[in-house]
Amino acid sequence: MSNSSSYRVGIVGATGAVGQELIGLLLSRSFPLAELRLLASARSAGRQLEVGGKKLTVQEAKPEAFDGLDIALFAAEGAIAKALAPEAAKRGCLVLDKSSAFRMDPKVPLVIPEINLAATRNHAGIIASPNCSTAIALMGLYPLHRKFGVKRVFFSTYQSVSGTGADAIDELEAQTQAYVKGAAIEKKVYPYQIFQNLIPHIDSFGADGYTGEETKMREESRKIMGLPALQVSATCVRVPVVRAHSVTVNAEFEQPVDVAAAREVLAAFPGAQLLDDPANKVYPTPLDFSRQVKCGVGRIRRDTAFENGLTFWVSGDNLWKGAALNSIQIAEAMIREGIALRPRELATA
């Protein structure tokens, strides 16, 4: 193990969109790095990436690649996480996983540090980071829940193409260029044109008609807030925005609500930036909340269809709070609070 003031960190999926954000954020946040190891598929192994002025060679992500690491930030797809996260954990390395592979596993904490950092105390080597839309929506909902007690919630999302990945960013860009040139608009990533269009379909459909993304918003909200009976309905829609997801939230609470008190708890919550002055056209937009640490919350008003309800709008960076940043914030908070990174059963090995 490295000494207590700096850490040997690996990034799995270092060449992907979230991997790139992880590298940038570790540097810009001055994460105490003793070593940074870039891991990716065999196809990407050998590539050189410039990191803080130094060239680092990408290594193949295989079990032995985790030897000696303290933390592995996984930014790969679920199948890779399933195969490699247990190998990394077995080697004493704390896995912070962005994929959905372990999120609903009862033995794996699913964590947003502003909400349930305490859950990390029971980790067994793997900690999951939530779905992007869930993380962003809860930056508005959770402080209100703590104040008023949420019992029912409706989410309607407006999700950017970067949530799909770098190839989707390229597809929106190519369609935009083709439109301006008067060329034919081609599609490969999405089943429909996304430029100047909307696609009410993110992830695959389940038998109940909900998409995987919509089901994740329901199940992950319950697990993170510790509210297994919370009633949640989500509709997830892809919009022609490059970066940052937005969500309309209609929430019903146990207690009588009050807009001034809602604004107060949001202003005090570390994950949220209150931006709510409609008379002066002040509210969050995804463009303003791209590459922002906090999620913007605005349009807060008493819901007209619920007795004790609030409606509001959240915009947040899906690659940051919705992915890379949240994983890093988990590590930062565990270090700050003195929570063991090494899984308990291995701690004495």
Using CB under 8 A, pick the residue from 3, 4, 106, 281 that binds a copy of itself. 281
Minimal distance, residue 156 CB to a copy of itself, in Å:
3
Residue among 50, 41, 45 at smallest CA distance from 20: 50
Asked if 153 touches a copy of itself (CB under 8 A), the answer is yes
Distance CA 106, CA 341 (A): 19
Q: Which residue has the tokens 């508005």?
A: 140
Asked if 208 touches a copy of itself (CB under 8 A), the answer is yes
Using CB under 8 A, pick the residue from 10, 16, 286, 343 that binds a copy of itself. 286
Using CB under 8 A, pick the residue from 196, 226, 340, 344 that binds a copy of itself. 196
Catalytic residue among 132, 145, 236, 295: 132
Asked if 300 touches a copy of itself (CB under 8 A), the answer is yes
Residue among 27, 45, 21, 203 at smallest CA distance from 98: 21
Asked if 287 touches a copy of itself (CB under 8 A), the answer is yes
Query: Are 133 and 100 within 8 A, CB to CB?
Result: no
Other C-beta atoms lying within 10 Å of the C-beta of residue 73: 30
Asked if 305 touches a copy of itself (CB under 8 A), the answer is yes
Asked if 292 touches a copy of itself (CB under 8 A), the answer is no
Distance CA 238, CA 159 (A): 5
> Residues with Cβ < 8 Å from 311, sequence gap 6 or more?
248, 249, 250, 251, 299, 300, 301, 302, 303, 304
Q: Is 245 a catalytic residue?
A: yes
Question: CA angle at residue 135 from 221 to 111, to 5 degrees?
Answer: 75
Catalytic residue among 123, 145, 236, 245: 245
Q: Is 236 a catalytic residue?
A: no
Asked if 212 touches a copy of itself (CB under 8 A), the answer is no
Distance CA 287, CA 315 (A): 9
Q: Which residues bind a copy of itself (CB under 8 A)?
A: 152-154, 156, 158, 172, 176-177, 179-180, 191-193, 196-201, 205, 208-211, 218, 231-233, 235, 237, 239-242, 246, 248, 250, 259, 278-279, 281, 283-288, 298-306, 309, 311, 313, 315
Active-site residue set: 132, 245
Q: Residues comprising the binding site for NADP(+)?
A: 15-18, 43-44, 162-163, 318
